[in-house]
């Protein structure tokens, strides 16, 4: 009876001892886990601090690089390109300072002068100053619709009033159809070019002028070629590649003359189109006020 009475307390004691041991083990494990987690956290915070320091360093380097790019851009825009002054001074009192030569010696003639088709970079901000690109709203207001419907391919002008303003004329080596005041302006441009740069003038060609169609890639916008107020030019039979960010040297010279006559140069489009020249809004309004349109 006495032995049976002792079994219960012994079992209870053993259970208490086992529980105490288990509690101690769990506590030790938790303490070890917490210590490991804290160590990992400390290491992560150290790594994060290092990454933040590196990020700040890179941000500082980026700011310095951006400042240097801005300084170099201003320097390029303000200084003349490495070309003989006589080559461009006859066209403008202000020599072309926006071009940086990217072609090699193979693009130059025997005297080291840039070839008309040599590829050059350009500073877009120099050109089209004070000249507004004519959108469809202005063209329709001034000249109306060239025709009742359009496609992506060239179609003839059917608007009687606009047709009456059209004329085909031989200007130097190119034969072109445009509205008469545009042809008059083009003749003045070519006369100056022939006097100052006869070789460039002799090698001038056209990739088209009058062409009633939609702007490529659009289903509603009409190309300014549709009104006979735009022309695409090529030099020595070569077209300037579309949207490559550079332009032919000869087109830089032409752009000066076209801008002086109030034409907008397509080189400053979002997608550069250096062969394209079109009459600016201000010039169109002037011709309209004078009764030429």
- pLDDT digit string (tens) for 217-235? 899 999 999 999 999 999 9
43 & 112 share domain? no
Asked if residues 230 and 224 have their Cβ atoms less than 8 Å apart, the reply is yes
Query: d(Cα 238, Cα 71) in Å, to the nearest integer?
Result: 34
CATH of the domain at 161: 3.30.1380.10
Burial of 192 (0-12, 13-18, 19+ CB in 10 A): middle
28 & 113 share domain? no
pLDDT at position 7: 57
125 & 212 share domain? yes
Least confident of 12-16, 153-157, 252-256, 278-282: 12-16
58 & 153 share domain? no
Query: d(Cα 187, Cα 191) in Å, to the nearest integer?
Result: 6
180 & 273 share domain? yes
pLDDT at position 94: 32
Q: Which pair of tokens denotes residue 255? A: 């752009």
Range of the domain at 250: 93-289
- Residue 205 banded pLDDT, cuts 50, 70, 90: very high
Query: d(Cα 99, Cα 79) in Å, to the nearest integer?
Result: 9
**For helices 136-143 and 281-289, angle between their N-to-C axes, nearest 10 degrees:** 10
254 & 123 share domain? yes
13 & 146 share domain? no
Please give the radius of gyration of the chain, using alpha carbons only, rounded to the nearest integer.
Answer: 37
Q: Is residue 179 part of a domain?
A: yes
Q: Is residue 69 part of a domain?
A: yes
Query: d(Cα 128, Cα 271) in Å, to the nearest integer?
Result: 15
Q: Is residue 227 part of a domain?
A: yes
- Residue 115 banded pLDDT, cuts 50, 70, 90: confident
Q: Is residue 84 part of a domain?
A: no
**204-208 and 174-179: which strand pairing?**
unpaired
> Does residue 76 have a pLDDT over 50?
no
Residues paired with residue 247 on neighbouring β-strands, in sequence order: 120
- Average pLDDT rounded to a whole number, residues 92-118: 46
Where do we find the tokens 């050109």?
127
Asked if residues 166 and 157 have their Cβ atoms less than 8 Å apart, the reply is yes
Asked if residues 273 and 267 have their Cβ atoms less than 8 Å apart, the reply is yes
Q: Is residue 88 part of a domain?
A: no
**pLDDT: which is higher, 125 or 174:** 174
Q: Is residue 31 part of a domain?
A: yes
61 & 100 share domain? no
The mean predicted confidence, pLDDT, of the chain is 78
**119-122 and 246-248: which strand pairing?**
antiparallel
List the 99-101 sheet strands across, edge first: 99-101, 119-122, 246-248
pLDDT at position 216: 86
With DSSP H G I counted as helix, E B as strand and the rest as coil, what are the percentages for the chain, rounded to 5?
Answer: 50, 15, 30
Closest by CA position to 225, among listed 285, 288, 276 = 276
**Which of the listed residues 53, 78, 103 is the one where a domain comes to its end?**
78
**Which of the listed residues 78, 110, 127 is the one where a domain comes to its end?**
78
pLDDT tens digit string along 25-41? 556 555 555 556 666 66
191 & 113 share domain? yes
Angle at 20 between CA 16 and CA 22, to 5 degrees: 115
68 & 186 share domain? no
Query: d(Cα 124, Cα 146) in Å, to the nearest integer?
Result: 31
pLDDT at position 17: 64
153 & 268 share domain? yes
Q: Is residue 201 part of a domain?
A: yes
194 & 232 share domain? yes
| Residues above pLDDT 70, as percent of the chain | 62
pLDDT at position 226: 98
**Domains in the chain: how many in total?**
2
pLDDT tens digit string along 137-193? 999 999 999 999 999 999 999 999 999 999 999 999 999 999 999 999 999 999 999
pLDDT tens digit string along 264-282? 999 999 899 999 999 999 9
Q: Is residue 223 part of a domain?
A: yes
Query: d(Cα 156, Cα 161) in Å, to the nearest integer?
Result: 14
| Residues above pLDDT 90, as percent of the chain | 54
pLDDT at position 116: 81
pLDDT at position 102: 37
Where do we find the tokens 């332009």?
247
Task: DSSP letter for 214, please.
Answer: B
């Amino acid at each position: 009876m006495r032995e049976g009475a002792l079994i219960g307390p012994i079992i209870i004691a053993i259970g208490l001892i086992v529980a105490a041991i288990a509690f101690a083990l769990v506590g030790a494990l938790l303490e070890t886990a917490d210590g490991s987690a804290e160590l990992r956290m400390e290491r992560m915070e150290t790594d994060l601090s290092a990454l933040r320091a590196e990020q700040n360093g890179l941000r500082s380097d980026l700011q310095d690089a951006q400042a240097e790019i801005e300084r170099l851009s201003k320097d390029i825009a303000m200084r003349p390109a490495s070309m003989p002054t006589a080559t461009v001074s006859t066209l403008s009192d202000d020599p072309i300072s926006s071009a940086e030569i990217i072609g090699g010696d193979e693009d130059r003639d025997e005297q080291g002068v840039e070839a008309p088709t040599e590829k050059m970079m350009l500073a877009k901000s120099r050109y089209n100053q004070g000249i507004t690109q004519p959108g469809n709203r202005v063209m329709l207001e001034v000249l109306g619709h060239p025709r009742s419907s359009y496609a992506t391919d060239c179609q003839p002008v059917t608007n009687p009033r606009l047709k009456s303003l059209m004329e085909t004329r031989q200007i130097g080596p190119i034969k072109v159809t445009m509205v008469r005041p545009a042809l008059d302006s083009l003749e003045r441009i070519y006369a100056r070019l022939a006097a100052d740069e006869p070789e460039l003038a002799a090698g001038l060609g056209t990739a088209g002028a009058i062409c009633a169609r939609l702007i490529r890639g659009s289903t509603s916008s009409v190309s300014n070629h549709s009104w006979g107020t735009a022309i695409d030019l090529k030099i020595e039979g070569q077209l300037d590649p579309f949207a490559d960010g550079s332009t032919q040297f000869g087109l830089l010279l032409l752009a000066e003359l076209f801008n002086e006559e109030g034409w907008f140069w397509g080189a400053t489009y979002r997608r550069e189109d250096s062969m394209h020249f079109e009459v600016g809004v201000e010039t169109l309004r002037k011709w309209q006020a004078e009764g030429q349109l």
